[in-house]
Amino acid sequence: MNLLIDVGNNYVKWAAVDSAHWDGGHRAVISGVPSNLFETCWGHLPAPNRIMVSNVQGERIAPDLVKWCQGYWRVCPIFLEPASAAYGIVNSYYDPEQLGPDRWAALIGARTLSNDALGIIDCGTAITVDALSADNVFLGGAILPGLNLARDTLSTSTSGINEGESRLVSVLGRSTADCVSSGVYYGLAGGIDRLVNEIEKTLVQHLRLYVTGGDAARLQPLLKMQTQLEPDLVLRGLSAALNRL
């Protein structure tokens, strides 16, 4: 069994995988003592053969994760590191190492699903929209705030907006909380639509679009373009990368 771990800004997600079974869909809030979090998440699992990790938190969590995995299982995790070219994909970032490992993993995962030119929309703490050409070049992308970040910014940075219970009822909200939800949900969905439209105009080609991330299921129904929901895209990219080592 291999263990795939996606350490995000607020959540850790994971899947336990062998040749015949994918056990995914797991996540936990990142809080408290790291060793206690790891024990809660994986203490019940048998020792994996290998562990592959996407970690956007860098040194804030990597040393604790290495220490726990080695102490508990005697297995050292492998951290996915963006490169100028790896796993069949060329990275066109000016500084390839600046690309987030989660975005790199999502590109690798998306390529396992289709050979077309692709757009990857990752709806997490931040929303990223990335383009991958049919000949496996990551062409770049765009970043905008995610649902919670946009909503929290309104609540904490303006006077008179104290959301209370936030829910998306209609594009025409009838309470301040509902107006904030309407603006954030529809505004971000519209922003994603516009970004994809501009990217396709720039590339002069249509993109097959995948939507992933913790808020994907909430935003996807509001998008105008045709998309495919792939909740475990980062983890599937980790699996593909691990299989090529």
Residues taking part in catalysis: 102
Give SS3 for 8: coil
Helix ranges, the chain (H): 34-42, 62-73, 101-111, 147-157, 176-203, 216-219, 233-243
CA 72 to CA 3: how far, in whole Å?
A: 14
If one counts every other C-beta atom within 10 angstroms of the C-beta of residue 117, the result is 18
Contact by Cβ (8 Å): 144, 127? yes
* CA proximity to 238, closest of 28, 40, 53: 53
Beta carbons within 8 Å of 240's beta carbon, 6+ residues apart: 87, 108, 109, 111, 112
Q: How many helices (H) and strands (E) does the chain have?
A: 7, 12
Half-sphere exposure of 101 (CA within 13 A, CB side): 19
